[in-house]
Amino acid sequence: MFIIDQVIRTGFEKIRHNIAFQPQTEPKGKALVESAYLEHNAKDEYEKRYKISVIQLASVIVCASQPWLCASLNGAVVRDGAIERILEMKCPDPCKNLPAIDEETQKVNINYLELINGSYCITVYRDENFLEDVVHKCEEFYFTNYLPALYNLMQKKCDINNSSVSSKN
C-alpha cells in the first residue's frame, strides 16, 4: 500500500508541477513560489501569536461526488489528538508590505475584507452562471486531461518498478 500511495503522491506532485510551471504560466510559477514562502512565514506568525502548534498537512482533501474538486490545506491545529481547526493561509499582494489588519487601529488593508461586529468577514456572492460554467470546465479538464495523465504516469512508475524487481531476480 505504501508504494501505491507514494506513486500516487509523486504522480500528483509531478502533474501539479507540470501544470503550474508551464512556459506560458512562468510568471504564475514565480508567484506560487513567493506565495509558498509568505505562507510559511504566516504559519510561523500564527503559531507565535496564538501560542499553538500548527502541523503541516501533506495531503489533499477530495470531494467524493466531484473528484476534480479538492483542497490542499496549509495546516491544522491539533489539541488532545483531534483536529480543532484547519488552516488555509493566503498572502494577498496588497499586504506584502502592510499587515492585512492593523491591530492598533483595526484598519483593514484588503479591499474585500470587512470588520463587522468584531469579526472579519469576506462577502462572497453566488453566481450560478459562473459556477455552472466553471464546474463544467473543471470536470472536462479533470476527466480529459488530468486523470489520464495521472494514470499514464502511474503505469510508467509501475513498469519501472516491475522491471527493476525482475532484473534483481
Q: Which helix (H) or strand (E) holds 167?
A: helix 147-168
61-94 CB burial, b ≥16 within 10 A, e <16: eeeeeeebeeeeebbbbeeeeeeeeebebebeee
120 inside domain: no
118 inside domain: no
- Contacts of residue 161, defined as CB under 8 A and 6 or more positions apart, other chains included, come to 3
Strand partners, 157: none
pLDDT grade for 128, boundaries at 50, 70 and 90: very high
Q: Please report the pLDDT score of residue 2 as a whole number.
A: 33
Query: For residue 56, what are the CA distances in angstroms to 6, 16, 35?
Result: 18, 19, 16
Measure the CA–CA gap between 150 and 16, rounded to whole angstroms. 10
Predicted model pTM: 0.46
Task: Encode pLDDT of 74-123 as tens digits.
Answer: 888 888 888 888 887 776 666 667 777 787 888 888 777 787 787 777 78
101 inside domain: no
Q: How many CA atoms lie less than 13 Å away from 137 in the CB half-sphere?
A: 6
Task: Encode pLDDT of 28-54 as tens digits.
Answer: 566 666 767 777 788 888 888 888 888
6 inside domain: yes
56 inside domain: yes
60 inside domain: yes
Q: Please report the pLDDT score of residue 136 as a whole number.
A: 92
**Number of other residues whose CB lies within 10 A of the CB of residue 128:** 7
161 inside domain: yes
Based on the structure, what is the number of domains in the chain?
1
**89-93, 118-122, 138-142, 145-149: the lowest-pLDDT one:** 89-93
103 inside domain: no
Domain ranges, residue 18: 2-91+125-168
